[in-house]
Amino acid sequence: MSRSSLTDLVQDLASGAIKIIDLTATLEPSTPTLKLPTEFGWGVSWPFSIEEISRYDERGPAWYWNNFKCGEHTGTHFDAPIHWVTGKDHNDHATDSLPVESFVAPACVIDASKESAENPDFLMSIEFIKTWEAEHGQIEEGSWVLYRSDWSKQIKSDKYLNESDDGSHTPGWQPDAVTFLADERNVVGVGVETVGTDAGQAAAQEPMFPCHNIMHGANKCGLAGLKNLDLLPAKGALLIAPPLKIKGGSGSPTRVLALMMSAV
Ligand code: MN
């Protein structure tokens, strides 16, 4: 058999030269879900719940299986462009129709963990992204941009949603930074460690929920609830993030993996 990039990949995986990092949080009933302001009468996304059908018992002597239910946007999950009104008229914009090439793409990891720790309402700016590019090189077209906030380390704590009387306080984006990534860098989308791709206070931003509004308006995707971004290089990882093929789906819980070179 002749060698190819794929046979190299298989060998590098077998030898450990390339390792696989799981960027997925475990889906369980305690998985935090996005809480929208209730005063508008907006609908509620079901939290994850699971019910045992049988476990090698009288309900099924040789098999174990469960029913589960949750909203499409629960835990580590994918946002398709159809999720937002600004993305509703694109073609191939739902979980079943998105081009599969969107699901395998390189990752640029922008570290804003220090800023997020200092200010839970930190909003990433164009200047912040350009400072990162000055160090690591320009974000390549067709990349995922991953926002490292280290927020996933708090998933078992109230600090994850960080709610107070005026809503949630978690990091996000300045609107023009999202426009820059969509228009000037033509990314596949952005991924974050927080419960959604926008800041906790994004209902009060202009436009409301700018990352959703602008990214999906540009027919681009999102990933929320990621973890282990601190294990990835700034550049060089390959992300694998296919959502469930729900017909017309706006998103789905997703197992997200990253391939990266082992440190030498
Ligand atoms: Mn979502």
pLDDT in tens, 109-148: 999 999 999 999 999 999 999 999 999 999 999 999 999 9
CA of 60 from ligand 1 middle (Å) equals 36
**pLDDT at residue 7 greater than cutoff 80:** yes
**Percent of the chain at pLDDT exceeding 90:** 94
Q: Distance, CA 225 to ligand 1 centroid (Å)?
A: 9
Q: By the 8 A CB rule, do 106 and 144 touch? A: yes
| Residue 83 is a catalytic residue | yes
Which of the following is catalytic: 73, 77, 83, 212? 83
CA of 85 to the centre of ligand 1 (A): 13
How far does residue 262's CA lie from ligand 1's centre (Å)?
Answer: 31
Task: Identify whether the C-beta of residue 239 lies closer than 8 Å to the C-beta of residue 105.
Answer: yes
Instruction: Say how many Å lie between the first and final Cα of the chain, rounded.
Output: 28
Do 244 and 10 contact (CB within 8 A), yes or no?
no
pLDDT (0 to 100) of residue 187: 98
If we measure between CA atoms, which residue out of 197, 184, 187 comes closest to residue 225?
Answer: 197
Identify the pLDDT of residue 34. 86
Residues with Cβ < 8 Å from 256, sequence gap 6 or more? 22, 23, 24, 76, 191, 223, 226, 239, 240, 241
CA distance 227 to 231: 9
Q: What is the mean pLDDT of the chain?
A: 96
250 CA to middle of ligand 1, Å? Answer: 8
Q: 129 and 258 in contact (C-beta within 8 Å)?
A: no
